Structure 1
Amino acid sequence: MKIEQIYTGCLSHAAYFLESDGEVAIFDPLRDVDSYISKAEAGQAKIKYVFETHFHADFVSGHLELKAKTEADIVFGPTAKPSYEAIVADDGDIFYVGKCMVKVIHTPGHTMESTTYLIFDENGDQSAIITGDTLFIGDVGRPDLAQHVNSELTQDRLARLLFHSLREKIMPLDDHLIVYPNHGAGSACGKMMSKETTDTLGHQKETNYALRKDMTEDEFVSELLSGLTDPPGYFPKNVLLNINGYDHLDAVLIKGKNPLIADHFLKITEDDDVLILDTRNASAFAQGFVPGSLNIGLDGSFANWVGEMISDINQKIVLVTDEGREEESIVRLSRVGYDNTIGYLKGGFESWKNANKKIETAERISAEKLKEIYGESLIIFDVRKNSEFESEHVAGAINVPLNKINFHFDSFPKDRSFIIYCAGGYRSMIAASILKQNGFKDFADVEGGFTEIKKNDLPRTAYSAPTTFL
């Protein structure tokens, strides 16, 4: 038996590849499934099942892609109601993958259909649990997401179900079991996940706050619900895609891999319904970009910030990318359900410049320069999360988190210059591109962000009520 975790850092997502005696099961796959198929073919094995731990909110699963390409059966846990052919298992059902067994353990709480899969090896011994968003390393799944799809599923109700699922279904299992969760640190599906992506169940019983033996149900609910931030707006839309189905990725790629010369690109983008998305890194974007572009770099938490900052999942998108990364951009958009890419700038930004088209730039300054000009009259905005800001920030800075910037343009002055920064320069360039779209011109971004600011020993402070108002 082989269990392999396939981790995708930009989504903090883990899929699992279980192989035994020529048969394979895939758990919680991403939408771009060719790597799973290639891995099975390399081992001369057939993909028999695609197991889903729940209807995911933070990505579009590859279950339908795998079924179409391999004829594998899709398996959900109890109460799931997919709008396509799938096996909806009962609690305790057993599935055979080669000489291994997969047992269904219904663990509602994150969602109603949430299911943990207990893996038995070829000797019939319990080996691991694939827990989805029920149990993370250091955390458990947040219970407030399902209510955005079904208002009857309140966070209190689901939190109480999760309390019982953990104590009655998970904690009685043997300590030696390996815990394989669906996410690690960085995912919005929990609030305090570890950077580690596997652990033993015994160690989690000792260290995970949600598994304390002496915790009452009310204490569990209170601790679980405290400190939850608003989930990204695209989450409910991804849930519905996973329930109802979606276009196959091959069709999305055919539509998106449409090379546009500069003149054609310009004509298409004159339509207000079309968004220019530039996926180059912040430094390249700052040096020159197509006017009106939104910058979200591929080399960062790309899919998460696309979901946060592009409100319409059906938005028509044309791409500006580094040459050779056009398909990667389309695929990574599709992972969170943004399937309406209609083309890309052929030859990248260089072709736009060579065609003598209008360009814009974004000013960046070093932390050293910020230290030189720092003073009481300088207006500084911190676009990190509230929690980051409250931990430590430049003294006098105003906190406007990036995911709220579209609602607070009146916080930024148009008659005075100002500075923006984030942790390292990725989010602040997203903010810079949005400010440029909305007519702000006299501002600069701090290259390297707060990381470089601390190195240069600018005045800093922790939470200060007068400078935080969002």
Structure 2
Amino acid sequence: MKIEQIYTGCLAQGAYYIVSEKEAAIIDPLRETKPYIDRLEKDGVKLKYIFETHFHADFVSGHLDLSKKTGAPIVYGPTAEPDFEAIIAEDNQIFEIGNIKIKVLHTPGHTMESSTFLLIDENGKETAIFSGDTLFLGDVGRPDLAQKSAHMTQEELAGLLYDSLQNKIVPLSDDIIVYPAHGAGSACGKNMQKETVDTLGNQKKTNYALKQPNKESFVREVLDGLSAPPKYFGMNVALNKGGYESFDNVLHQSNQPISAEDFEGVAEDTGALVLDTRNAADFHQGFIPNSINIGLKGDFAPWVGAMIVDVHQPILLVSDPGTEEEVITRLSRVGFDHVLGYLEGGFESWKNSGKEIDTIHRISPQEFAAKFSDDSKVIDVRKESEYDAAHVEKAYRRPLADINEWANALNNDEHFFIHCAGGYRSMIAASILNSRGIRNFTEIDGGFNKIKETSVPKSNFVCQSKTL
């Protein structure tokens, strides 16, 4: 028996490849299927089942393409109602792969169809659980995503999740290995550990959600501090449940070079958003006017989903030459399939053509410290928890995820500084503000990680609530 965790750091997502004898199973695959097909061919095994722990919200699964290419059926837990052919398993149903078994444990609460898959080895020993978004390391799945479809409140869903954990997971042996669907950085939980594998026994000791004395306490603690889910989540659920275009077709249609001479016309004719995926250091020095910067070398796909939201939005790419296929692939993982093409030759071709360019005013933390005064307006776009830990004194807490709510309140006649932790998110914010005509600001390179090394006063006071 072989178990391989295929972890994708930018999505904090774990897929699983299991082999026994000459048969295999894959759990929660990503959108692109080639890595899985390659593994199957290398091992000389046949894919027998594709297991889905639930209808994922934060990424588009590769279940449909993988099933079409291999003939393997897709398996969901009880109550799932996909718009395509699938096996809807019963609670405690057993599936055989080679000489091992996978038992379906229906564990609703995160979503109604959420299920945990219990692996029983060739000796009949319960060995591991693939817990999806039911149980994470250090946390449990957020119980607020399925409220509308389940016709339940988040409190009721949290109570259901408590029952699932207590009745199906906690009674299992402490030596069972826990393989979750996500790790630290995922928006599907709030308190996940950086580790991606652990024993159930250790989780019983360290996971706050499993240590609550009763259901009421569990519900209160799980819901406390839960931020709003990214707005693209619902669209990804719809794609996973209703189907989507083959990734191979998406890649073929999207991976099209467009010359600098034609690029602007395509943008105007289609209403496409120009997405620049270069790093912040390059972007601020020159970019196509009104383009949005979300750097590929970061949490690219989740931020695309959070900022652009509409998966049907036409997109034109400006990327470092040679990265276009990677960009298209990572966009497709969160359902953004409408890439019309990319700027041939990258931004250099635009600049060399003599077309108009724009810039973002960026300074070093040392320059910021020299310019800082009691009258300086500072906007911190980090998450609330980051801000609460430490921040520039009197800085305004304005999380990037909420930029549509706070941007319109800015006074463009009054200069402000903007920063995040390291410069990735603040450049996203800067590009969005700039595209909306808000340009009287200075972005700080290195963010708070470098600002805290300067003389700029820091404070843990509650952020100001007055209007900017």
**Counterpart among 214, 227, 230 of residue 216 in structure 1:** 214
Match of 2:34 in 1: 34
- Is contact 2:31–2:60 with CA below 8 Å preserved after alignment? yes
How far off its partner does 1:468 sit? 7.0
Name which of structure 1's ranges 405-414 and 371-380 shifts more when overlaid on structure 2: 405-414
Match of 2:308 in 1: 310
How far off its partner does 1:417 sit? 2.2
Match of 1:250 in 2: 248
Match status 1:366 vs 2:374: no
CA distance in 2, matches of 1:334, 1:264: 24
Q: How does 1:61-210 map to 2 (within 5 A)?
A: 61-147=61-147, 149-150=148-149, 152-210=151-209
Gaps of 5+ in 1: none
How far off its partner does 1:195 sit? 0.7
TM-score of the aligned structures, taking structure 2 as reference length: 0.98
CA distance in 1, matches of 2:168, 2:418: 48
Match of 2:389 in 1: 391
SS in 1 for 2:75: strand
How far off its partner does 1:467 sit? 5.2
- Is contact 1:389–1:463 with CA below 8 Å preserved after alignment? no
- Is contact 1:398–1:468 with CA below 8 Å preserved after alignment? no
CA distance in 2, matches of 1:139, 1:17: 24
- Is contact 2:6–2:16 with CA below 8 Å preserved after alignment? yes
How far off its partner does 1:48 sit? 1.3
Match of 1:301 in 2: 299
**Counterpart among 255, 279, 282 of residue 280 in structure 2:** 282
SS in 1 for 2:452: helix
RMSD: 1.3
What is the percent sequence identity of the aligned residues? 55
Code of the aligned partner of 2:206: T
TM-score of the aligned structures, taking structure 1 as reference length: 0.97
- Equivalenced residue count is 468
How far off its partner does 1:285 sit? 0.6
CA distance in 1, matches of 2:320, 2:445: 20
- Is contact 1:53–1:132 with CA below 8 Å preserved after alignment? yes
Gaps of 5+ in 2: none
CA distance in 1, matches of 2:73, 2:318: 38
CA distance in 1, matches of 2:309, 2:163: 36
SS in 2 for 1:370: helix
CA distance in 2, matches of 1:237, 1:142: 17
How far off its partner does 1:415 sit? 1.5
Structure 1 pair 468–323 and aligned structure 2 pair: CA distance change class (3 A): farther
SS in 2 for 1:287: coil
SS in 2 for 1:466: coil
Name which of structure 1's ranges 71-80 and 264-273 shifts more when overlaid on structure 2: 264-273
- Is contact 2:316–2:343 with CA below 8 Å preserved after alignment? yes
- Is contact 2:365–2:450 with CA below 8 Å preserved after alignment? yes
How far off its partner does 1:272 sit? 6.7
Match of 2:327 in 1: 329
Alpha-carbon displacement from aligned partner over 1:273-315 (angstroms, at most 9, x marks no partner):
2100011111111111111100001111111111111032100
- Is contact 1:73–1:86 with CA below 8 Å preserved after alignment? yes
Alpha-carbon displacement from aligned partner over 1:224-249 (angstroms, at most 9, x marks no partner):
11111000000111111111101110
Match of 2:317 in 1: 319
SS in 2 for 1:11: coil
Structure 1 pair 468–221 and aligned structure 2 pair: CA distance change class (3 A): farther
CA distance in 2, matches of 1:130, 1:272: 43
- Is contact 1:391–1:463 with CA below 8 Å preserved after alignment? no
How far off its partner does 1:464 sit? 2.5
CA distance in 2, matches of 1:85, 1:466: 53
How far off its partner does 1:407 sit? 2.4
Code of the aligned partner of 2:200: L
SS in 2 for 1:413: coil
Match status 1:24 vs 2:21: no
Alpha-carbon displacement from aligned partner over 1:86-136 (angstroms, at most 9, x marks no partner):
100001111111111111111111111010001011222111000000000
Alpha-carbon displacement from aligned partner over 1:353-372 (angstroms, at most 9, x marks no partner):
11111111111111011111
SS in 1 for 2:149: coil
Alpha-carbon displacement from aligned partner over 1:26-60 (angstroms, at most 9, x marks no partner):
00010011101101111111111110000000000
- Is contact 2:396–2:463 with CA below 8 Å preserved after alignment? no
CA distance in 2, matches of 1:450, 1:362: 18
Match of 2:57 in 1: 57
Match of 2:452 in 1: 454
- Is contact 2:53–2:115 with CA below 8 Å preserved after alignment? yes
How far off its partner does 1:463 sit? 3.1
CA distance in 2, matches of 1:334, 1:73: 22
Match of 1:11 in 2: 11
* Structure 1 stretches of at least 4 aligned residues deviating more than 3 Å after TM superposition: 467-470
CA distance in 2, matches of 1:46, 1:465: 57
**Counterpart among 216, 237, 240 of residue 239 in structure 1:** 237
Structure 1 pair 363–326 and aligned structure 2 pair: CA distance change class (3 A): same
CA distance in 1, matches of 2:395, 2:164: 44
- Is contact 1:234–1:313 with CA below 8 Å preserved after alignment? yes
